[in-house]
């Protein structure tokens, strides 16, 4: 797990850089919850925990460094470069890259491996721990007013709820989902 810790520190350092596209907040409010969910799912489903955690830490690194557009593609390139420098096994680098390339719910790629599915699921789950960040995006990055932001966040979270595929995911998030839907009526 030494590689996982090095990757985590790399992502944290990139988030703290002044040129980070979204500032330091994504580390605490997106990456940490996502890694927590990814680890839980990896253990529960007996998947490759190390690969999943590496992909979880790196899944949005393209957005942090280069911006949101095509961040899954730029992130896979960045991941490959860093993992090669760390002498990570080539077959596992390919799995990490596929996880990053296929993590986005808005990009309809086929997720073939359990690891790809877990990374995408954990990314979706993390939204329910970062509702303030979703509002921030609606206000700042999308220029919405309060009413538009409320509707946008509600629809986004409803969509995210529908994207959850693993049995335990909805069970873990049910109370959060119900609470946020009640608040955003």
* Residue predicted with more confidence, 87 or 1: 87
pLDDT digits (tens, 9 = 90+) for 38-50: 999 999 999 999 9
SS3 state of residue 22: coil
Say if residue 113 is exposed, middle or buried (CB neighbours under 10 Å; 0-12, 13-18, 19+): middle
Q: Give the residue extent of every domain in the chain.
A: 2-183
Give pLDDT, residue 21: 78
CATH of 2-183, one of 2.30.30.100, 1.10.150.20, 1.10.3210.10, 2.50.20.10: 1.10.3210.10
pLDDT higher than threshold 90 for residue 148:
yes
Q: Which of 117, 107, 127 is nearest to 33 (CA)?
A: 127
What's the pTM value of the predicted model, to 2 decimals?
Answer: 0.92
What residues have CB less than 8 Å from 50, skipping those under 6 apart? 1, 3, 4, 92
CA dist., res. 164 & res. 176, Å (int)? 14
CA angle (168 as vertex; 62, 112 as ends), nearest 5: 50
């Amino acid at each position: 797990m030494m590689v996982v810790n090095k990757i985590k520190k790399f992502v944290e350092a990139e988030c703290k850089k002044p040129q980070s596209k979204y500032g330091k907040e994504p580390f605490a409010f997106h990456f940490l919850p996502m890694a927590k969910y990814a680890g839980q799912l990896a253990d529960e489903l007996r998947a490759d925990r190390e690969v999943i955690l590496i992909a979880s830490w790196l899944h949005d690194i393209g957005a942090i460094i280069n911006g949101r557009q095509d961040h899954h593609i730029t992130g896979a390139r960045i991941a490959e470069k860093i993992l090669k420098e760390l002498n990570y096994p080539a077959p596992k680098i390919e799995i990490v890259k596929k996880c990053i390339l296929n993590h986005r719910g808005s990009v309809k790629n086929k997720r073939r491996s359990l690891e790809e599915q877990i990374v995408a699921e954990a990314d979706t789950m993390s939204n329910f721990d970062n509702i303030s960040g979703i509002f921030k995006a609606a206000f700042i990055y999308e220029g919405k007013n309060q009413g538009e932001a409320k509707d946008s966040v509600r629809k986004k979270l409803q969509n995210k709820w529908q994207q959850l595929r693993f049995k335990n995911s909805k069970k873990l998030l049910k109370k959060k989902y119900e609470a946020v839907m009640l608040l955003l009526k």
